Amino acid sequence: MERILTELTPECEITARLYAQGYEKKEIASMKCRAVSTVNNQLQKVFETLRIRNGRELTTMIYERVTGVKLMDLSPSMRAAVACCLLCVFSLTFLHQQDVQRARRINNRTETRYDYRRNIK
Residue 36's nearest CA partner among 27, 44, 45 is 27
Provide the pLDDT for residue 114.
58
Higher local confidence (pLDDT), 115 or 19: 19
> CA distances (Å), 87 to each of 83, 84, 90, 91, 98, in order?
6, 5, 5, 6, 16
User: What DSSP designation does 87 have?
Assistant: H
Global confidence as pTM: 0.61
Separation of CA 52 from chain center: 18
Q: Confirm if 46 and 8 have CB atoms less than 8 A apart.
A: yes
Question: What's CA 37's distance to the chain center, in Å?
Answer: 19
Q: Is the pLDDT of residue 116 over 60?
A: no
Residue 83 has pLDDT above 70, yes or no: yes
Closest CA to 63 of 3, 2, 4, 117: 4
What's the pLDDT tens digit per position in 7-54?
999 999 999 999 999 999 999 999 999 999 999 999 999 999 999 999
